Structure 1
């Protein structure tokens, strides 16, 4: 475009120069004085008249040439204006081209930066993918190892998976903290047709972080209830509570005291001919409020204004009252506050038969604040059933498709030794990491059937 414009300007300049030269020539000719012949000759000679006429014609032609030159000059001015306009447009376009070139350079630099960043991200993605593949390979190897050990244990039909020196079920350090307690605890009894085992073990997360166990379990005869009755309880302390273990232990012991205190009324409501549910619910609320009052003694004076600090002693409590003696259908009363669960093993499958809270809001309740919101339910078991009062991590473990059948195969129809039961609760399988606490009851219906069961 620049070359074409340059040639156009040159042609216009040459045209202007030619027009100026022609105009100057015509102007000079017009100004040149014409020779005047002698007056006598002009006056008398016809030849002189012809010359005058010829001169007049030349003068007219000169005027026309001058007018033409003036038109050419005007056209030249217009052409020069057009050329100036084209030149201005050319300069503007050149400036725009410069801006576009600068923008293109900036975009190219930005593109180069983005390409560099993209290469860095691709490299990070490759590294993460490699790490993920390595992690998956390790996980698969661990799964295969667990499957192999499970197959070996099932073939030997003895004990759980392990123990081995590297088993996560064996603590690597003692628990720390002012509220510390034993890493694990176990209890149990063979009560004729009812066999009961209780165990509580510190979870994987607590062992890894050096924290103490926060759960507690309890087995007691409710002697004050007229009919022979067993009280089983599991208290799960809050992971963030400073005194959650002491509060869990206090909750279990206080529950036993409160059941004894209201034992006669509970016996009438449970086993009397009327079976008054309203009275039963009122007694349970009163008992749990007594438990809450006892728990608050653990942190008395630590809260604002010298009151108890409820956040330091939050506990989910699940209890079970079981009628003892021979019977084809055994009566139970499950009750509690929080997110514990009562599971039943029947025909080789686990199912949840009671949770203290029906909604998510109810399951988030804890003692002592939620004592008035106690949930309860009556239920019966048949000979061969197994009931498990569980803390939330243990309930989740029993209901898992990959682990629940393993526990079902070992606990269905058996009376495990206390050490075997603790080992099985403490089996080294990956879980949510919370404490594992459970009370299991085997219902054999008749004491003679229980004695013939294989340990």
Structure 2
């Protein structure tokens, strides 16, 4: 039996003993003392002895009563102590019950935490499997593109003939005062961003002995606080006497204007409080500065000594790209005229931006229409390729037969400068205009870019 049970038994026994003792004392006190007989008391020795015995018995009874009273008090004290022990035992039992309840609650909480942990572990395993599947699909896609590239290089079929990478060689040098090189190429490997730029004279211009009228430009916009790359393609009008000089001046002046407003552009592009209205105003101001610089090419040749805008008409498309590692890369594309920005993703080209949305807007040209600049923000993911194109190059890339060939050559790769120029200059039938393009590869991380080099 437990301690509490023994305490209860002891308490009951003490109560019973006190009741019995109290009853005995009550009986003794109520018992009448023996009275002497009514007869005359004789002071005989027997009588004196009886009186003495009675007196002794009375004294003993009184002592017994006093002793019983002391016992009663002791029993009361013992009863109070037993009651205190019982109260303490009950308090301990209550504490033990509360502790048991708390232990049960802690056990339930622990089981809940273990359940959540198992759920998180299962989620991590699922995510790991998804990542492995995505990597496997990406590798399979790369192998497929490599196979298609090998087939395109080895076969004699397709729109590019048996030697698709051999460039078209001009048969004569261009004539005129505004002549420039038949082709130009530039590029850089900027960590996770790889860029190539090329401009080649079109078939029609080569046949007619005319000069190339396009220009391309790559510049690091060091005046913008955040590392930013400026890419530009300027396509001169075929009827403009000074269109090539104007295209080159437009690209160089655009770099100067971006540097002039670099801090403000960086704040509106990448700052937390960037305002699209202020950004559009900055772009219009910059393009108006470009137009003023272009008019210096033909100053004094127009009516009344003014600049001849018809001789320097140019369609200009620019791209500002944020550099550095990142899973999503920010870009700002802008321009005037019929240039285009294309994106290569999953082996297919898509048009993402054209400065002129409607047919009348696509006929706009610098310097006259500098205030009517169009622009848009966009982002790229690792593996995407952007192409800033002149109209003839955009038409080639969007053609189903030729575009797939360029996609197989450029998807996930870093071509050498000479290879890139040869591919842009490939002998394929087209509208005959100049081919100018700036291609930008976004690898997300510089390590991925190094692994994709060739």
| Corresponding residue for residue 83 of structure 2 | 84
Deviates more, 1:51-60 or 1:396-405: 51-60
**SS of residue matched to 2:40:** helix
Q: Partner of 2:325: helix, strand, or coil? A: coil
The answer (yes or no) to whether the contact 2:165–2:423 under 8 Å persists in 1 is no
State the TM-score, normalized to the length of structure 2.
0.65
Contact between 1:160 and 1:427, CA under 8 Å: does it hold in 2?
no
TM-superposed deviation, 1:446? 0.3
Contact 2:343 2:387 in 1 (8 A): yes
Partners of 2:451 and 2:115 lie apart in 1 by 76
| Residues 43-88 of structure 1: CA deviation (Å, up to 9, x unaligned) | 9999999999999999999999999999999999999999999999
Question: 2:158 touches 2:401 (CA, 8 Å); kept in 1?
Answer: no
Q: What SS is found at the alignment partner of 1:350?
A: strand
| Structure 1 range deviating more: 405-414 or 26-35 | 26-35
2:160 maps to which residue?
Answer: 161
- Contact 1:149-1:161 at 8 Å conserved across structures: no
Name the CA shift for 1:68/1:158 in 2 (closer, same or farther; >3 Å).
farther
1:359 Cα deviation (Å)?
1.0
SS of the equivalent of 1:408 reads helix
Q: Deviations over 1:112-143 (max 9, x none)?
A: 99999999999999999999999999999999
Per-residue deviation, 1:376? 0.2
Deviation digits for residues 392-431 of structure 1, max 9, x if unmatched?
0000000001100000000000000000000000000000
Q: 1:252 to 1:127 in 2, by over 3 A?
A: same
Query: Could you tell me whether the CA contact under 8 Å between 2:334 and 2:376 is conserved in 1?
Result: yes
Give the 3-state SS of the residue equivalent to 1:317 in structure 2. Answer: strand
Distance between the aligned counterparts of 2:257 and 2:167, measured in 1? 38
**Contact 1:175–1:211 (8 Å) recurs in 2:** yes
Q: In the aligned structure 1, how far is the partner of 2:403 from the partner of 2:37?
A: 148
> Are the counterparts in 2 of residues 153 and 160 from structure 1 also a CA contact under 8 Å?
no
Q: 1:329 — aligned with what?
A: 328
Task: Please tell me whether the aligned partners of residues 23 and 66 of structure 1 are also in contact (alpha carbons under 8 angstroms).
Answer: no
Secondary structure of 2:283's partner?
helix
Q: For 1:274 and 1:41, how far apart are their aligned partners in 2? A: 133
Q: How many equivalent pairs are there?
A: 453
* d(CA) in 2 for partners of 1:307, 1:444: 48
Kindly state the Cα deviation for residue 454 of structure 1 after the two structures are TM-superposed. Answer: 3.6
Distance 2:373 2:208 in 1: 33
Per the alignment, do residues 88 and 208 of structure 1 end up closer, same or farther by CA in structure 2, a change over 3 Å counting? farther
For the Cα contact (< 8 Å) 1:150–1:161, is it kept in 2? Answer: no
Cα distance in 1, alignment partners of residues 40 and 270 from structure 2: 170
* Gap change, CA 1:110 and 1:175, over 3 Å in 2: farther
CA distance in 2, matches of 1:232, 1:129: 38
Shift of residue 274 of structure 1?
1.2
Unaligned runs of 5+ residues in structure 1 are: none
Q: Name the CA distance, whole Å, in 2 between partners of 1:412 and 1:270.
A: 28
SS at match of 1:159: coil
CA contact (8 A) 2:167 2:422 kept: no
Inter-partner Cα distance in structure 2 for 1:368 and 1:319: 15
Partner of 1:358: 357
Higher mean Cα deviation, 101-110 or 441-450?
Answer: 101-110
SS in 1 for 2:430: coil
Contact 1:215–1:437 (8 Å) recurs in 2: yes
Give the stretch that moved more between structures: 240-249 or 272-281.
272-281
Alpha-carbon contact 1:301-1:308 (below 8 Å) kept: yes
8 A contact 1:160–1:423 mirrored in 2: no
Aligned residues of 2:220 and 2:229 also touching (Cα < 8 A): yes
The runs of at least 4 consecutive aligned structure 1 residues that moved more than 3 Å come to 3-153, 156-168
Kindly provide the CA deviation profile for residues 353-390 of structure 1, in whole angstroms up to 9, marking residues without a partner as x. Answer: 00001111111000000100000000000000000000
Q: CA deviation at 1:154?
A: 2.5
Do the aligned residues in 1 keep the contact of 2:14 with 2:79 (CA within 8 Å)? Answer: no
